Amino acid sequence: MIGKLEDGFALAEFGKITCCASSKSANKLIGYPPEVLESFEKYEVLPDIILVEADGSAQKPLKIHLEHEPAIVRNAPVTCIVLGLSAYGKIFDAYTIHRVAECSDDIHIRLGGLITAPVLISLWERIKQRLREIQKKKKDLLTSDRKQNILILNQRDTVSCQVIEEISEYFSPDEIVFSTILKRETFHKNNTIRKFNKLSIERIVGQRKIGGIILAAGQAKRMGCIKQVLPWKKSTLVETAVDSAISSGLMPTVVVLGAHAEKIKPLLFEKSPWLYNSDYQSGMSSSLKVGIISMIQQKVDACFCMLVDQPLVDEILLNALMAEYIQQKPDILIPLYQGKRGNPVLLNKRVFPALLKISGNVGARAIFSNPDFYVLRVETGNIAVLKDVDTLDEYRDLSDQINC
């Protein structure tokens, strides 16, 4: 980060990739005042790239610019605007859009409506119009055919591949970029540590459709209360499982309910579809079959079978297992920790018919020994695959360990 204007110029003179930035103040970037940007325009050696923190959005994914925004340098050939994809599918209100009143007037959508691809397109068109107005006021010397405005849709990890495809249809390839902050996590295999890059999943998975089944139909007799709604961090156990699945891009994700369904359903509104297993008392197999039938109907290539009481299973672990699955192409992938079998398991659609034949209080492990299937066991080095909460003591212990 460049804190002084002359430092930015120095980089420009040495032919480096250059930036104009600002200092930090209370965890916030403070943009340079307009006169500093004006000095760039007068300088003989302009930087190749100028990164400008023009204005924040009050930590919201979307915003509408005021008359003087965004701050841009005259004669800049390329201007990039960043919007957050975490707004997709959310309610159009003050929690998702900074200056929602102005935005509502501009793109003609009612407060309380859903933010969809056409809404994002309308917002982008409004921003481009604002850019043209500012460039005109600045007496920009570059003609429109020599200028490029690019939309960067950040938070790519918050939506599915299907959403990306839907949005992409509205843009030319050189007008839009999807991005996400890299998350790195140590992942172990065969006692070898390697780095897992979140973006690598997007390159590997491609168009494969991988769903998620969250089993949440149990009676939790050993717990003595409704396990699914127990608090976890700022959420609940069932919501934590759903958030991890959706953040990992598992589409579709469905929650199978049974016991206490009426208490759990309100937590799932606008988060995930749910299915009711009326035969939940017969055991886990009945819930798994309800989920598998849904996956077959939605034509997935594979799916995770997740348990509602494993809150340490997060998107990074799911993505790491997905990468192994795509590379090795097993029928069944089983995560291990120090040689012990854990969950969630990843199931190829080839095993779905066999799963529809199981019965009793057993899950996918009923077919693990089937010689017709290629079973891949992956050492994860992550104890999360073993950590579930069947009793209140286990729940309290795990909560204390991570300071819930």
- 46, two tokens: 């302009």
Q: Do 163 and 198 belong to one domain?
A: no
**Does residue 353 register a pLDDT over 90?**
yes
- pLDDT of 203 reads 35
- pLDDT of 182 reads 43
Helix (H, G, I), strand (E, B) or coil at 313: coil
**Does residue 87 register a pLDDT over 50?**
yes
The DSSP string of 140-197 is --S-GGG-EEEEEEE-GGGS-HHHHHHHHTTS-TTTEEE-----EEEEEETTEEEEEE
Task: Give the mean model confidence (pLDDT) for residues 141-158.
Answer: 69
Say what the pTM is: 0.53
pLDDT tens string 183-198: 433 333 332 223 333 3
Residue 13 lies in a domain: no
- pLDDT of 75 reads 66
Q: Do 69 and 211 belong to one domain?
A: no
**Does residue 342 register a pLDDT over 90?**
yes
Residue 65 lies in a domain: yes
- pLDDT of 41 reads 57
- pLDDT of 183 reads 41
Q: When comparing pLDDT for 223 and 346, which is higher?
A: 346
Q: Do 87 and 118 belong to one domain?
A: yes
Q: Do 159 and 240 belong to one domain?
A: no
**Residue at which a domain ends, from 135, 156, 178:** 178
Helix (H, G, I), strand (E, B) or coil at 381: coil
Residue 49 lies in a domain: no
CATH number at residue 275: 3.90.550.10
Mean pLDDT, the chain, integer: 76
**Residue at which a domain ends, from 139, 156, 178:** 178
Q: Do 108 and 159 belong to one domain?
A: yes
Burial pattern 144-166, b for ≥16 Cβ within 10 A else e, equals eeebebebebbbbbbbbbebbee
Residue 22 lies in a domain: no
Q: Do 239 and 313 belong to one domain?
A: yes
Q: Do 360 and 315 belong to one domain?
A: yes
Task: Give the mean model confidence (pLDDT) for residues 30-49.
Answer: 57
pLDDT tens string 257-276: 999 999 999 998 777 889 99
Q: Do 236 and 328 belong to one domain?
A: yes
Burial class from Cβ neighbours inside 10 Å (0-12, 13-18, 19+) for residue 211 reads buried
Q: Do 146 and 267 belong to one domain?
A: no
% of residues, the chain, pLDDT over 90: 35
Residue 125 lies in a domain: yes
Question: Which residues, 6+ apart, have CB-to-CB distance to 113 below 8 Å?
Answer: 91, 92, 119
Q: Do 124 and 243 belong to one domain?
A: no
Q: Do 266 and 290 belong to one domain?
A: yes
Residue 396 lies in a domain: yes
Task: Give the mean model confidence (pLDDT) for residues 12-24.
Answer: 44
- 352, two tokens: 């779905």
Q: Do 173 and 225 belong to one domain?
A: no
Count of the separate structural domains present in the chain: 2
Q: How far apart are CA 329 and CA 337, in angstroms?
A: 21
**Residue at which a domain ends, from 131, 160, 178:** 178
- pLDDT of 29 reads 55
Domain range for 128 is 54-178
What secondary structure letter does DSSP report for 286?
H
Residue 31 lies in a domain: no
Residue 190 lies in a domain: yes
Q: When comparing pLDDT for 274 and 162, which is higher?
A: 274
